[in-house]
Structure 1
């Protein structure tokens, strides 16, 4: 039986796979190990709470703490922790959180139709509810 190139993981110039290289780097670099662990936790969170995972990931990318986000939003650290744990806040609060994370909020409504029809989508950009 002939072996296809897609049957084996791609190797780097050093003769090892990307996964092997990442494991090796994680062993040597504590910051890299921490980042890998954080993104693994975010991927797990996203399976059940995609909005919470998005907020946590964006905060991590910006290098902000939950306390910093809370202060900028005008809420408590424990509230931001609950949001990142899966609690979905009201739309005005969610919009303020996303604004602190340099993001806008859009809502897409999809009309339920039969399987053979293309659904009708309406995307709404919410007005700026954040006080100027």
Structure 2
């Protein structure tokens, strides 16, 4: 079984959640999606384009600081 890896965005989201003491479930609720769907976004299995700006706004992430895959 392959181990899934967080995308660069996913890693930053996880780090910010820890920094501010918020759970992934709480973030999902705030941006209007399910915890499961948010998880798929963080692991790159869904693009989540509809939610990306909401995630970054909610967590105060600057999109320019996220390393994009080559």
TM-score (norm 2): 0.66
Which consecutive residues of structure 2, in runs of 5 or more, have no partner in the other structure? 65-70
Q: Which consecutive segments of 4 or more residues in structure 1 shift more than 6 A?
A: none
CA distance in 2, matches of 1:76, 1:100: 16
Q: Specify which structure has the higher proportion of strand.
A: 1
> Residues 98-113 of structure 1: matches in 2 within 5 Å?
98-106=56-64
Query: What is the deviation of 1:102?
Result: 2.1
Which has the larger Rg?
1
Which consecutive residues of structure 1, in runs of 5 or more, have no partner in the other structure? 1-44, 107-132
1:98 touches 1:104 (CA, 8 Å); kept in 2? Answer: yes
Q: 1:93 aligns with which of 51, 56, 59?
A: 51
User: Which structure is higher in RCO with an 8 Å CA cutoff and minimum separation 6?
Assistant: 2
TM-score (norm 1): 0.39
